[in-house]
Structure 1
Amino acid sequence: MGLYRSVRAVTEASGTGPIDWDAVAEASKAGTDPGTLEVGPGEREGYATDVRDARDRVREVSGFEFDLPDTIEIINRHHWIDNNIETFRRVMAPLEDRVGMFPSAARVINTSSMTVALSFLARNVLGQYDPLLLADGDGADDHALYFVYPNVRRVADSLEADSDRFRRWIAFHEVTHAAEFGAAPWLPDHLESRMEAAVDRLAEGDIDRVTLGELDTTMTAVEGYAELLMDRAFDEEYQDLRAEIERRRRGRGPIQKLIRRALGLGMKRRQYERGKDFFDAVVDARGIEFAGRVWERPANLPSDDELDDPSAWIRRMDDMQ
């Protein structure tokens, strides 16, 4: 019945825009098992403890004073879809405003594509600290930090990892992002403005490769700095967890690999690795406090060339003093 409801919601997509977001929400949830939210009191307290410990350790390592979001939630997959669909709708709004009336067949295809993307992500996201949810917009202060409980449990089981240790690793990773965005209050609006600019150009039938390049370098800095903090803040070695996740990723079927490629998730792995190499080099040369200068202002973000030549970024920061 879930598959039937999902297909029916897509084929009945209506409205005047290129995407029927109500149909996306209905179809995504109809085709996705929400998963359990039977979280025991001890485990719920474990999440809270892990987040507090991560905050204290990341503050100590980074030197940044930052607050955690007021809302920290343990959610299921349907909650994740509800929380994110408004973000997708807001970012894609320029397309809808500019394109206007779409033929119904194209609307069905677009709605179907977004349904596939959201359903896939809902089944695979473990935790989320989403900067776009913090940017200006209705409900922007909601759901800033959350954990998709059924996914965390499923992946921990599939890796045969200790569930408490795996949960703690996820908590530390998300809190490293909280530190970055706490240190750079300009970053959410910077990311969203770049994304909206790229969508604007796409609506005009053009691909803005400059803006997309800026987005890529910014997210490479975000992911790389988070990896830097994880290496120094997490309370034990975790390469075995990362190796197991990489092994699991390589073992995915062809359809999952195709979807991941279409969603740019392979690029995200490259961002982790390239960004971490950049910050490791900066820290080796000048220390972690100097590396934190990247979050002082947008002009301090590394360029694409500087990501491969950290010494050039260091010289530029010295010149700006």
Structure 2
Amino acid sequence: MDLFRSVQAVADTDDGGIIDWDSVAAAAKAGTPKGDLDLSAEEQAGYRNDVRDARDRLRSVGEVEFDLPETIEIQHRHHWIDANIETFRRVVEPLESTPTMLPTVSRTINTGTMALTLGFLGRNVMGQYDPLLLADRGDHALYFVLPNIRRVAGQLDVAYPRFRRWIAFHEVAHAAEFGAAPWLPEYLETRMQGSVTALSEGSIETEGFQELMAAMTAVEGYAELLMDRAFDGEYADLREKLDARRQSGGPFRKLMSRLLGLGLKRDQYERGAAFFEAVADARGLPAANAVWESPENLPTTEEIDEPTRWLGRVDP
């Protein structure tokens, strides 16, 4: 980690806009070791087999048809930062027109904050299914951040091949739900842009934000349900060790986790999984797939906590 280069990149922000994205990229990567990307032939075959097996098992168990993304990449941390910076830029684009006091100072602070965020995530994200929201192209992508997967497997004292396979199943489960719901990326994008635009105008778009949170809870919960039914072996120990790792992090890690809402993401896993488990127990796993037939079938916030209300409304 080159702290001096990271600080220097933020200090060198140019004029115009609320964030200097070139400086964000430079600072995030200067403060983040990219990690080793050397892969043995055995590892390459392992990733291919894990992704293929996950696709086949999820199709069979979930009774859902989907294709893998055209783009599947094994990345180091700098690759991940580069792959995500455009998405972050597009998300905050509506804020560019918001007037600020001391624009140069605000720009430097915003640039530093975004670089810190991307650097932190780049050091911790292990896998990502990317529907490329807010992008001009419509394809999807699947990323595995190799240095992070290796590091966390060692920290948790679990077998690397098993841990790698678990990550692959989880991310391919997201590909399954987005494959089953081709309307979902536009649905999420519209509500995300609406929330940010409202914020730029000094208001909060409550309905759109609630719909976004409910949809994301469904996304996380369905993936958890498929994982539970499709993964070839118990994985409760992996989840417990990851939860313990999150809770035992240092002050900086805990602060960043709180600021980035990572605790909220865990809550989405749990609430969403409980909803889909209840639906599957009541009507069978194929009934849970009805959520992805149309936007109208998405559960509301209230229905997530009371699945019988959703079953009564949708009747899958």
Common fold: TM-score over 0.5: yes
Which shows bigger deviation, 231-240 or 11-20?
11-20
**CA RMSD between the two structures:** 1.5
1:302 aligns with 2:299: yes
The equivalences for 1:1-321 within 5 A come to 2-99=2-99, 103-131=103-131, 133=132, 135=133, 137-138=135-136, 141=139, 144-318=141-315
In structure 2, distance between residues paired with 1:29 and 1:275: 34
How many residue pairs end up in the alignment? 316
Specify the SS of the correspondent of 2:299. coil
In structure 1, distance between residues paired with 2:15 and 2:63: 50
Conserved 8 A contact 2:129-2:171: yes
Which shows bigger deviation, 53-62 or 245-254?
245-254
Letter of the structure 1 residue corresponding to residue 27 of structure 2: A
In structure 1, distance between residues paired with 2:70 and 2:209: 31
Q: Give the drift of 1:70.
A: 1.1
Specify the SS of the correspondent of 2:171. helix
Q: Give the drift of 1:101.
A: 9.2
Q: Give the drift of 1:15.
A: 2.8
In structure 2, distance between residues paired with 1:219 and 1:181: 12
Q: Give the drift of 1:96.
A: 1.3
Letter of the structure 2 residue corresponding to residue 182 of structure 1: G
Q: Give the drift of 1:102.
A: 6.4
Specify the SS of the correspondent of 2:33. coil
Q: Give the drift of 1:92.
A: 1.4
In structure 1, distance between residues paired with 2:150 and 2:257: 21
Conserved 8 A contact 2:87-2:134: no
Q: Give the drift of 1:76.
A: 0.3
Q: Give the drift of 1:208.
A: 2.3
Letter of the structure 1 residue corresponding to residue 108 of structure 2: V
In structure 2, distance between residues paired with 1:102 and 1:190: 36
Conserved 8 A contact 2:81-2:118: yes
Q: Give the drift of 1:16.
A: 1.3
State the identity as a percent: 60
Conserved 8 A contact 2:134-2:189: no
Q: Give the drift of 1:99.
A: 4.3
Conserved 8 A contact 1:18-1:99: no
In structure 2, distance between residues paired with 1:220 and 1:214: 10
Q: Give the drift of 1:137.
A: 2.8
Letter of the structure 1 residue corresponding to residue 87 of structure 2: T
Which shows bigger deviation, 107-116 or 50-59?
107-116
Specify the SS of the correspondent of 1:39. coil
> Cα deviation per residue 1:216-258 (whole Å; 9 max; x = unaligned)?
1111000000000000000000101111111111101122111
> Cα deviation per residue 1:122-175 (whole Å; 9 max; x = unaligned)?
0000000022x1x46345536x10100000000000011000000000000000
Conserved 8 A contact 2:19-2:111: yes
> Cα deviation per residue 1:278-315 (whole Å; 9 max; x = unaligned)?
11111111111111100001110000110111000001
Q: 1:292 to 1:92 in 2, by over 3 A?
A: same
Unaligned runs of at least 5 residues, structure 1: none
Q: Give the drift of 1:63.
A: 0.9
Q: 1:313 to 1:45 in 2, by over 3 A?
A: same
Conserved 8 A contact 2:276-2:288: yes
Conserved 8 A contact 1:9-1:23: yes
